[in-house]
Amino acid sequence: MRERTQRRQRIAASALAVLLAGCAALPPLSPRPPCHALADTDGTALARLFAAARAAHPGESGYALFDDGRASATTRFDLAAVAERSIDLQTFAWSDDVMGGATWSALLGAAARGVRVRVLVDDVALDGRARLPCRPNLEIRVINPFAQRRFRLFELLRRFATLDRRMHNKLYVVDGQVAFVGGRNVGDAYFGLGRRYNYRDLDVATVGPVVAQAEAAFDAYWNSARAYPASAFCDASPAVRARVERGIDEAIARSLIVYPYPIDGGREGSLGRLAAVRDRLCWGPGEVVWDRPERLVEGARVEGPPAVALRALAEATRREVTIESPYFVPSDDLLGIAALRARGVPVRILTNSLDSTDHVPVFVGYQRSRRELLESGVELHEVRPDAASRALYTTAPSSESRLGLHAKVEVFDRRTVAIGSFNLDPRSHYLNTEVLLVAHSPELAERTLALLERDFSLDNAYRLVLGEHGGIAWVDVERGRLHRTGFEPHAFLRRLIVILLSLLPIDGFV
């Protein structure tokens, strides 16, 4: 009887906490002076490493593609190992997993050497009970935070117009000399470490003038009124703080035990690997295009600069367009695909299949447009969850592991590459903030297309074609033989979910 009474009391307390969440308020922001990227980093080891290459390409930027998670993670940690002045990391999601722990290890190691480390993370993908370290030379800010750290539903309903807008940007800048731009968040699935599910993702390391543009984008969010210090949501009592820090150190140690990639080969080893990155750079003009953080405040649904830039690139295209977008909702023709086809420009698109996507509601918006895309002549492909390329993007692939697309890249006329956090869906166009690198380099475009060719192959993706009686058929290769089916592959239960979701008014919010 006593246990039943206590259980009821706990339930009542939880319900009260949920109800009170709707009345919670964010803590007031204390006045703070603007903080900007460090300008005097030309004497750092990274500056010296890339100095000759930059001098040989005045006014241009250098680009190195990272096709797999292992190389991307190793290069990020090599940059942290040789950093001398600053590290700025901006991400939408930070998972409490192996990659999350290994990343904290690299950043805290740099901070312990006196490197200024700034971490900017969106709150929606943070666990409300997430443990964030508090160490010298490290500052963490949370963008567009919930006032309630655990019970968020009522607050979301009360402040939906603001909390539905999220910072989706991903940047990683070291010593003001090298910047990573792309789709990867901090988490196992983005770097091939997931047990059941991994992403085919793509990012690019850059040097040259675009790095300063990336730093300017980071600073705008860092100094935004929507960026709250993580310390504002932490228990500041010494005993609790000490216990939290011990837990963080223990979690990091556990992560490093199972982390499978090189992480501590010494400073010279890191510089040697970074020299190899330098030697494979492609060069050309470029720019970083980004949404202003003011977009996070409730307002009109208008296109931001990344959307405008992509539309302009599409309008100027005359030969061909190749697109990879994991979340693709073309109902509003946001990239002007109809106009491209009307001009006779070939358009080739790869997106997630129903069985490979991690976001079924987005798929609902996409599948309504498939027949129209095919009828207009678009070459349409969907990722196979059992793609042969899983072996490239997954550390320990098994028959149960699935692959999904997360790369966000467009190649225009084999001359210009756009890569970043931007999805071809209404959320990226109208609600979230995004960052996009536009590189005008035929060499980079050819290298990118060479990587994408593998993704479009029939052992890695379905080719969609118009079937009999106006239906859609999926074509792939099984055991070396061409296979064709008129049903959504491998996704019976998800088909039912799609039917139910199709009845809901979710357009524009997925």
Cite the active site residues: 168, 170, 175, 406, 408, 413
Per DSSP, helices labelled H in 259-329 are: 267-279, 305-316
> 3-class DSSP state for residue 402?
strand
Q: Which amino acid is at 98?
A: V
- Say how far apart CA 195 and CA 501 lie, in whole Å: 28
CA 48 to chain centre: 30
Q: Helices 69-82 & 267-279, crossing angle to 10 degrees?
A: 120
For residue 186, what are the CA distances in angstroms to 18, 79, 343? 29, 16, 40
Per DSSP, helices labelled H in 399-486 are: 426, 442-456
Judge contact between 188 and 194, C-beta under 8 A: yes
HSE (side-chain half, CA atoms, 13 Å) at 309 = 23
Burial of 472 (0-12, 13-18, 19+ CB in 10 A): middle
Judge contact between 169 and 119, C-beta under 8 A: no
Judge contact between 474 and 462, C-beta under 8 A: yes
Of 209, 230, 227, nearest to 218 by C-alpha is: 227
Q: Which amino acid is at 122?
A: D
Q: Which amino acid is at 339?
A: A
Cβ neighbours of residue 427 closer than 8 Å, sequence gap 6 or more: 327, 509, 510
For residue 420, what are the CA distances in angstroms to 120, 408, 462? 17, 6, 25
> 3-class DSSP state for residue 459?
coil
